[in-house]
Amino acid sequence: MEIGTGSLREMLGTPDDLKFHSSMTVFAMADPSPDNPFRSPLKQFFDNADDEATLRLIRRSQS
């Protein structure tokens, strides 16, 4: 399989695909600029969606 083809789960396996989604979410949040490079993998592999479980943990830690 070439890099960039197939699903992230096929390329990384689980739970690494989940950790990747979580990490990209956190890094994307750290820089709100539109050209943030961490938004690109979220667009490519996750339909531009942040990881909801990660967002919940962040919200919980801020309250």
pLDDT at site 4:
59
Residue 25, pLDDT above cutoff 50 = yes
pLDDT at site 3:
57
CA quadruple 7, 5, 42, 16: dihedral positive or negative? positive
pLDDT at site 5:
66
The DSSP letter of residue 6 is S
User: How many Å apart are CA 20 and CA 41, to the nearest integer?
Assistant: 9
- Per-residue pLDDT tens for 27-58? 999 998 888 999 999 999 999 999 999 999 99
- CA dist list (Å): 50 to 1, 18, 59: 26, 11, 13
Q: Which of 10, 38, 18 is nearest to 26 (CA)?
A: 38
- Per-residue pLDDT tens for 10-24? 999 999 999 999 999
Residue 1, pLDDT above cutoff 50 = no
